[in-house]
Amino acid sequence: MHPRAGTPALPEDLVDVDALTSAYYDREPDLDDPAQRVVFGTSGHRGSALDGAFNEAHIVAITAAIVEYRRSQGTDGPLFIGRDTHALSRPAFDSALEVLAAAGVEVHVDARDSWTPTPAVSHAILRHNGAGTSEGVRTHGPGLADGIVVTPSHNPPRDGGFKYNPPHGGPAGSDATGWIADRANEILRQGWRHVPRVTVEQALAADTTAKHDYLTSYVDDLVNVLDVEAIRASGVRIGADPLGGASVEYWGAIGERYGLDLTVVNPTVDPQWAFMTLDWDGKIRMDCSSPYAMASLVSRMTGHGDDAPFDIATGNDADSDRHGIVTPDGGLMNPNHYLAVAIRYLYGGARPGWPAGTAIGKTLVSSSLIDRVARDLDRRLLEVPVGFKWFVPGLVDGSVGFGGEESAGASFLRKDGTVWTTDKDGMLPALLASEILATTGKSPSQHHAELVDRFGESWYARVDAAATREQKATLAALSPDQVKATTLAGEEITARLVDAPGNDAPIGGLKVVTENAWFAARPSGTEDVYKIYAESFVSAEHLAQVQAEAKDVVSAALDA
């Protein structure tokens, strides 16, 4: 833990925006360095221009590859593009637009020339492709839309990010991202400056560039997915902190459109994020699930009793695909706790229009409290690998009502059981917290306390352990029989998983389960470590024992 975690940023913590922007245009990536090539993780290509990992060359090459990919798939409808508030997002947006216009792609940009949350881009793609209609969403064929979101999500201000969403509206699968990354690296090696481009002024004026009102389309449609009238009628006092991100204008519009008692806590947009408190490691990071990054909002809400300024306070990250929920009685909720509360509420009668067979979606590193809630509701649980892309098919066809992951990302269906977004929507679960309070008279924290009384208290944490590249590769390819341990923290091991139970997809690691605990180990895609997620329904001390023995179990499997 950094000694200044949770304290306000100081001048020495801030990125030099001019130097960052200059590096975007001036620095050429060294392709002999794997860290400077195009690599798509679970949320697109990310990196910093200062490290030679997110520069003009990368974006031109990736965009050119996307142009080729969408043509190969027969996707010839409009491409919806949005950007967040990171300093590198505007330059990357401009570079992409220059390539798209030169290629004759019909591009829809924000009508306000402003920031666009990730869920608003997903919503636009899906609406174009039939979401919320009797015909349903089409995901293949001519005339379909797809999209690009320029964002590194909650990453520090020095970073940039670039991700592709195909016609299903959600994060692209590995088949697409692998092809795009390989082709982009080929273009870099062959000479990215040969890619046809026009000036950004020409691109914006091109006949193929149209303006789309992302904000109005998204905000006006919220009535079909949330009980906004209940929120308005109850007078719930909402404090929404965009954390300097793309939702800043959306929150004010939501409050005005629906007559809510909603205050935008901090409307400041600053590419340095000088107003932030430092995260656990001393970095500025817009992680709305972190008590350190959310320290300012938490301090306004807790310790004041009935004098707290809001009944519900929320936070979002820079592209608004994550949510943080703060209550006067409970502070910042653990994301796992809120997911369980939201699931219990939605499936417990709040959405009668959802089909009876609609499943609950969770990633396999999310809390087992969700498993217990699902069993109590007698609902099918779809447990998938890490990555929101795994929820996309079920959200599109309505077979999954709610998809959530432990990193505070979630989305769920419209009231009528049709798809809302297939990418994470941080604003949606944030507003759901107010709906829960408005319709039940209890805060999400109080609902979680009731779940603990019914299903038991759990302790959950994630830690990192050192690993070489070779060890990480071995971990990603483990088989269950390589795990020789029979017990974990005093309990018999009941399952050794390398494939997700919900869809049999490889998890890229290992999950070990006992009656009252589990751990999952996955290699990091960017650092020489592997991540250990663990949970115990016994005690904090038992969790520590699970974590310690997890390292031994993994080490033995790697050495086998």
- Enumerate the active-site residues: 153
Q: Are 209 and 97 in contact (CB under 8 A)?
A: yes
**CA 341, chain centre distance (Å):** 19
**Within 10 Å of residue 440's Cβ, how many Cβ atoms?**
15
- Across 280-373, the runs of DSSP E, i.e. the strands, are 312-316, 323-327, 331-332, 359-363
Q: Tokens for 21?
A: 């922007």
Using only C-alpha atoms, what is the Rg of the chain? Answer: 23
Residues in the chain: 560
HEC states along 485-513? CCEECCEECCEEEEECCCCCCEEEEEEEE
Helices and strands per DSSP (H, E), number in the chain? 17, 23
Q: Are 44 and 163 in contact (CB under 8 A)?
A: yes
Burial tier of 130 (Cβ tally within 10 Å: 0-12, 13-18, 19+): middle
Query: In 393-416, which positions are buried (b, 16+ CB within 10 angstroms) versus exposed (e)?
Result: bbbbebbbbbbbbbbbbbbbbbbe
Sequence-distant (≥ 6) Cβ neighbours of residue 6 within 8 angstroms: 277, 278, 291, 292, 295
CA atoms of 52 and 36, how far apart (whole Å): 6
DSSP string, 415-460: TTSS-S-SS--SHHHHHHHHHHHHHHSS-HHHHHHHHHHHH---EE
| Eight-state DSSP code of residue 310 | -
Instruction: With both helix axes pointing from N to C terminus, report the angle between 214-221 and 118-128 in degrees, rounded to the nearest 10.
Output: 80
CA atoms of 323 and 390, how far apart (whole Å): 19
